Amino acid sequence: MTEPTAEPFLKSRSLARRALAEGHTAEPGRVNRRLLGALGRHGLLSLLFPEAVGGTATEGVRARDLCLVREALAQESTEAENAVAIQTLGSYPILLAGTAEQVSRWIPPLAAGETVAAFALTEPNAGSDPGALELLAERDQDGYRLTGVKVFISNAPDADVYTMFARTTAGAGTRGITAFIVPGDAEGLRGSPLRLLSSHPIGRLELDGVFVPGAQVLGEVDQGFRLAMRVLDLFRPSVGASVVGMAQAALDAAVRHASARKAFGRPIREFQAVSHLLAEMATRLEAARLLVYSAAEAFDAGADRVGRRSAMAKLFATETAQAVVDAAVQVHGAAALEQGHLLEHLYREVRAPRIYEGTSEIQREIIARDLFKGH
């Protein structure tokens, strides 16, 4: 399985090239609506949405398809991959838990790239520990008033709709969290962009008594954490797939460079130190890819201990990709550190996935807890 050959993978690369050809310049750190719209028009987003809601996925939401698309896009354009990943992450809670009215209202324009979505879980004091979530949802007549702060929210503050997680029952930990659909133009909702190592669209949100009607509660009251974990279990293998795509691009670049670059009168690939390093990179990358797709297929099959397998896939793939990209930089030498070089770009891009959607340390905790179940 050196490279996936399934139709979604090959089709994604072709569709991405067409969308990117239309131009995708945008202010760094802000949502690129032009690119997202092009990804929708060329049918790339629709690969990840069921036919019933305007997509082209005949088998519904599948983790494997998400992995294939994200790995393919990461090899073509990390910006396009990021746009698709955030859009689906923000959309899938509505798709999986929404009422018929909620789904018909929001999902078709999201699948077409006409509307921008975001997944709003993280807070200043609730990152790795979502049970510490503090955004308060207080009952108000036929709805709720949301007050508090969200931070490191991808697509904020530009999203048109947020899947927002808030506390509805005090002192109940993860059992007192509810999911809400919050429009981006809701009164009392303010946001500001954040500037990180890589210029992803990400920001901070402040909610000052934002009213959310009862019809915009997503799923059951106090069951929002379960929905969030279901979505994250679905997405964690695909985080691994995205960094496998980045690492594959880095490995390919290193192989080309080692074949063309000469030192001491011969190509540097003829030096065992270089050739064996590349062999090690390729082997570890293949192991990561296999673990990712195994976890995705387990999720799709409804297998036991999906959480553990998703955690293993994300952990191993992100840590491996970081090492592969770093090694590719070493093969290239100083040239790879120049701004604008592919590897300089990938070196910055590959760092964040070891943190978001659960840090590597949290993935190890998930795996360890599962190991000791029943003992």
Active site residues: 357
Are 106 and 64 spatial neighbours (Cβ–Cβ below 8 Å)?
no
Nearest to 288 by CA among 255, 330, 253, 245: 245
What are the backbone angles phi and psi of residue 202, rounded to the nearest 5°? Answer: -155, 145
Nearest to 80 by CA among 29, 19, 27: 19
Query: Count of alpha carbons within 13 Å of 170, Cβ hemisphere only?
Result: 3
Token duo for residue 188: 């009392």
Instruction: Output the DSSP codes for 101-165.
Output: HHHHHHHHHHHTTSS-EEEE--BTTBSS-GGG---EEEEETTEEEEEEEEEEEETTTT-SEEEEE
- Please state, in angstroms and rounded to a whole number, the distance separating the CA atoms of residues 6 and 281: 23
What are the backbone angles phi and psi of residue 281, rounded to the nearest 5°? Answer: -60, -45
- Please state, in angstroms and rounded to a whole number, the distance separating the CA atoms of residues 312 and 293: 11
Virtual torsion, Cα 235, 239, 242, 244, nearest 10 deg:
-130
What are the backbone angles phi and psi of residue 139, rounded to the nearest 5°? Answer: -65, 140
End-to-end, the C-alpha distance of the chain in Å comes to 37
